[in-house]
Amino acid sequence: MENFILELAKVTIPGLLVLLTTYYLLRDFFKNEERKRYYEMRRETAKSLNPIKLTAYERLALFLERIRPDSLIMRVQTGNMTSGDLHLMLLTTIREEFEHNVTQQIYVGKEVWLVTKNAKETMIQLINTCASEIPNKLPAIELAKIVIERYGELEESPIDIALNILKAEVKSFG
């Protein structure tokens, strides 16, 4: 009987050792394979998402350029407008442009989105302040002059600040 147990142990113990070794090797192998698949999946996702992100940055840069007072006024002002009409058109255009680009916040960093919103709000505030200083019935050119002049007096343009932060994020992104 002792001989049988000894023979059984001689066969069983090496088999168990091989089984345990195989188990741990296969477990590590499968974990590594899973990590590789996860890395590949992230890399592929990044490959397809990067162009979308860059497009979002481009669209926000375009939005910021389009709400600069000189650019904005040139696009919306017509010859027979009053300052009240221009005021309304400037605000409407800024809000429409912003609404058109609001989904870009998904693809850009939080800071870029916040400074973009801040630039928009600052421009609206500037236009409202300038419009409150003159009668609505004056020719639109009067409001246009005041808005452009006041914007030029700003120490730091909110649009330039936003564009600089946007550009820095794009550089760090690539």
Residues 6+ apart with CB under 8 A from 147: 69, 73, 90, 126, 127, 130
Task: List the structure tokens of 133.
Answer: 């200083």
Task: List the structure tokens of 174.
Answer: 């690539």
**CA pseudo-torsion sign 24, 25, 31, 34:** negative
| Positions in the chain short of pLDDT 70 | 45-46, 174
Q: Distance (Å, rounded) from C-alpha 136 to C-alpha 143?
A: 9
Residue 134: which H helix or E strand, with range? Answer: none
Q: With H, G, I as helix, E, B as strand and everything else as coil, classify residue 2.
A: helix
pLDDT of residue 41: 82
User: Terminal CA-to-CA distance of the chain, rounded, Å?
Assistant: 74
pLDDT of residue 172: 87
Q: Distance (Å, rounded) from C-alpha 147 to C-alpha 130?
A: 6
pLDDT of residue 59: 97
Cα dihedral 38, 39, 41, 45, rounded to 10, equals 140
pLDDT of residue 76: 95
β partners of residue 139: 82
pLDDT of residue 174: 57
Axis crossing angle, helix 69-76 with helix 110-132, rounded to the nearest 10: 60
Query: Radius of gyration over alpha carbons of the chain, in Å?
Result: 32
Interval 27-51: pLDDT, tens: 998 899 999 888 888 787 667 778 8
Percent of the chain surpassing pLDDT 90: 68
Asked if residues 127 and 147 have their Cβ atoms less than 8 Å apart, the reply is yes
